[in-house]
Amino acid sequence: MIRDLEDEILGCTRCSRLIDYIRKVAIEKKPKYRNYQYWGKPLPGFGDPNAWLLIVGLAPAAHGGNRTGRVFTGDMSGERVYRALYEIGLSSSPKSESRYDLVELKGVYLTNAVKCAPPKNKPNKEEIGSCSYFLKKEIESLPKLKVILTLGRIAFDTTTNILGIDGKFSHMAIYSTNRLTVVASYHPSQQNFVSGRLTWGNWISIFYKIKTLYTSHNA
Ligand code: SF4
């Protein structure tokens, strides 16, 4: 069950460098969030246990998910994810602001390849390898899963390794197994939007493409 897995993730202390870092960030805080009670723990996924779509990011942001306690919540990348999900009808709201708000996801579950925020957004190989245990379990724990959208190269490589897919990351690449379709996208980071690598138009088009894939899975 995905809910049991969330409890297991919360108790994990396997990567001491990351655990030390997320606790330190939660104590020191960003000045503008000094009155905010940071999460400061490994961050489980969020969404519908009957999801047909799984979205895999890299890792929580130190002052985003590691602050708010919900994946893709509290930073610009996350805002783009929820807005896109709302536009295709999979989120009850275009915004997720804290783990206490009432946002509901329908048919989608959100997670990261690495569940603890890493310094400079860069987990090392061992940390990615250790945490892939949880991503594998998440994939196995979503019985209705059909499509996985991976955001960025690390999410893509980790997911395809788990599934035994011999794939190469490129934006909009699509690979399939008997059970699942994996779609690769650039990460919706501020850097990718400022550089023009991603625009709102080509970002949202991925979500419409995914809806089409789901329909074809069920045809
Ligand atoms: S990154 Fe994953 S494996 Fe490492 S401590 Fe956090 S939850 Fe555990």
Residues with CB under 6 A from ligand 1: 9, 12-15, 18-19, 42, 114-116, 127, 130-131, 134
Closest atom of ligand 1 to CA, residue 16: 5
C-alpha to C-alpha distances, 212 to 22, 69, 159, 171, nearest whole angstrom? 38, 32, 21, 17
For residue 22, the CA-to-ligand 1 centroid distance in Å is: 11
Residue 15: give its domain's CATH number. 3.40.470.10
Which residue's CA is minimally distant from atom 6 of ligand 1?
116
For residue 146, the CA-to-ligand 1 centroid distance in Å is: 26
For position 217, what pLDDT does the model report? 65
Pairing of strands 108-112, 46-47: antiparallel
pLDDT < 70: residue spans in the chain:
217-219
* pLDDT, tens digit (0-9, with 9 covering 90-100), for 1-57: 898 999 999 999 999 999 999 999 999 999 999 999 999 999 999 999 999 999 999
For position 219, what pLDDT does the model report? 63
The first and second tokens of residue 122, run together, are 């860069």
**Of the residues 6, 15, 43, 58, which should be mutated to test ligand 1's pocket, given the most ligand atoms within 8 Å of the CB?**
15
For residue 119, the CA-to-ligand 1 centroid distance in Å is: 13
For position 213, what pLDDT does the model report? 82
For position 215, what pLDDT does the model report? 76
C-alpha to C-alpha distances, 185 to 26, 100, 152, 153, nearest whole angstrom? 30, 29, 6, 8
For position 41, what pLDDT does the model report? 98
Domain with 87, as residue range(s), is: 2-217
How many domains is the chain partitioned into structurally?
1
C-beta separation of 25 from 120 below 8 A = no
For residue 42, the CA-to-ligand 1 centroid distance in Å is: 6
C-beta separation of 213 from 180 below 8 A = no
For position 214, what pLDDT does the model report? 81
